[in-house]
Amino acid sequence: MTANDTDRATYRTISAVWRIEQPRLITGLSRMLRDVPLAEELTQDALVAALEHWPQTGVPEKPGAWLMATAKRRALDHLRRVRMLARKHEMVARELEEEQQAMPDLDSALDDEFGDELLRLIFTACHPLLSREGRVALALRMICGLTTEEIARAFLLPAATIAQRIVRAKRTLSESGLGYETPRREELSERLSSVLEVVYLIFNEGYTAARGEEWLRPQLCNEALRIGRVLATVAPLEPETHGLLALMELNASRTMARTDAAGEPILLLDQNRALWDRLQIRRGMQALGRARELRGADGFYALQAALVACHAEAATADDTDWSRIAALYARLSARVPSPVIELNRAVAVSMVEGPQAGLAIVDRLADEPALKTYHLLPNVRGDLLFKLGRYDEARAAFEAAAGLAGNKREQDFLKRRAAEAADAAKPWLSNQP
């Protein structure tokens, strides 16, 4: 292996470690410093240090502990540099120094599982002083480690717009003096909807990654599920906490069947349902039942969970109740008008009324600004065109979808669909005069 190959391997490792450790680092520093933006800045400094040192020294045995130790040293340096006129800074610096001496092995816990501190930090970032959009973007970027591009994909907005939201939210958080906190009672309820949205988007990014080489990011799905389970105990009378948990449990139950041995995607109707996790399906159905008991059947998350439950309850793909799914999408679209929901409804309608009926809905969405760069629009259109035997148009649609997809697995899959459409068109073309 050449030196360049070694460096590339090290940088890939750093990137992978960073995705896992960033939320833990910010959580730990925020707890100690009571300053979320400062914690985020020092975490970035630790990453720079890793990029400088690890290519020469190798990746440490416990990379999380190394990064936290580096960040803590920089935190101490920062507090020593500034004039610590405020008693708060003096106290924090002294506590940090004492902790470094008394509990030197504490940082090793960073290489273990997350604690509930991450959820507390998400609640801090979802302070009502920030705009709803700013809260969610800030939490996803700074705390949960998603890139600006990944967040933009979740919102179907330009990356520059998301970047501006994050900058404004950070500034507001810094200037307001809001600290790391645990909201109680009314404050918790006031922030809950934003927290649920953050958890929902974390799970979605793990379920189908916007970027990168792999289609799935199981670590994000697992962390979202963990937080969702905690939220169901923190807010047990809120139906949407149970609705979201049901949605995540039911979706996650299909994880083992969603990719083949090479990591390539397998579409829902082609999956081996024997690989679906029946225990997780039962947990999801129980959570959905609890949401309904709390009169939350028409909640945003509960309706989506009900949609996934239709698939979970079908023994085979042919047993799927597509009429019910189409009706649920209509209810969901009426509650939360969205071109993405309409796109999904088009698929369900096509299964009930035929591909032409679905294509009519898709074509009405063609000029939706939010879907201009959304790869699933041409993907769905290509699938419907293929079923109608319009193979050349289907090929063009799949190629357009591949050009918009950011994930390599999805790009490769869509290119294969385009090639399949091109092959299907050849006999028809050979018969032309």
Q: For residue 155, what pLDDT is reported?
A: 86
Instruction: Tokens for 107, please give them.
Output: 């940082």
**Sign of the four-CA dihedral 344, 350, 355, 357:** negative
- The tokens describing 280, both together, are 């997780």
The residues that bridge with 407 in the sheet, in sequence order, are: 212
pLDDT for the residue numbered 203: 93
- Rounded mean pLDDT for each run of 10 residues along the chain, 433 residues in total: 66 78 78 75 86 87 86 77 55 57 42 56 83 86 78 87 89 70 72 92 89 83 91 92 97 96 93 96 97 96 98 96 97 95 97 98 94 96 97 97 94 96 75 50
Which are the contacts of 249, defined by CB distance < 8 A and separation ≥ 6?
225, 280, 281, 283, 284, 287
User: How many angstroms separate the CA atoms of 145 and 10, rounded?
Assistant: 20
- Please answer whether residues 323 and 317 qualify as being in contact, where contact means their C-beta atoms are separated by less than 8 angstroms: no
Looking at residue 109, its pLDDT comes to 37
- pLDDT, position 106: 37
Q: What is the pLDDT of residue 130?
A: 85
pLDDT at res. 295: 96
Distance CA 192, CA 240 (A): 9
Provide the 10 A C-beta neighbour count for residue 104: 10
Place of tokens 């922030």: 191
Residues 26 and 39 sit within 8 Å (Cβ to Cβ): yes
Separation CA 393–CA 141 (nearest Å):
38
Q: DSSP letters of 168-206?
A: HHHHHHHHHT--S----HHHHHHHHHHHHHHHHHHHHHH
| Three-class secondary structure of residue 407 per DSSP | strand
Query: Given this model, what pLDDT does residue 181 score?
Result: 61
Say what the pLDDT of residue 108 is: 41
pLDDT at res. 103: 41
Measured between its terminal Cα atoms, the distance across the chain in Å is: 57
117 with 28: CB under 8 angstroms?
A: yes
CB distance 156 to 163 below 8 Å = no
> Which residues partner with 259 through β-bridges?
265
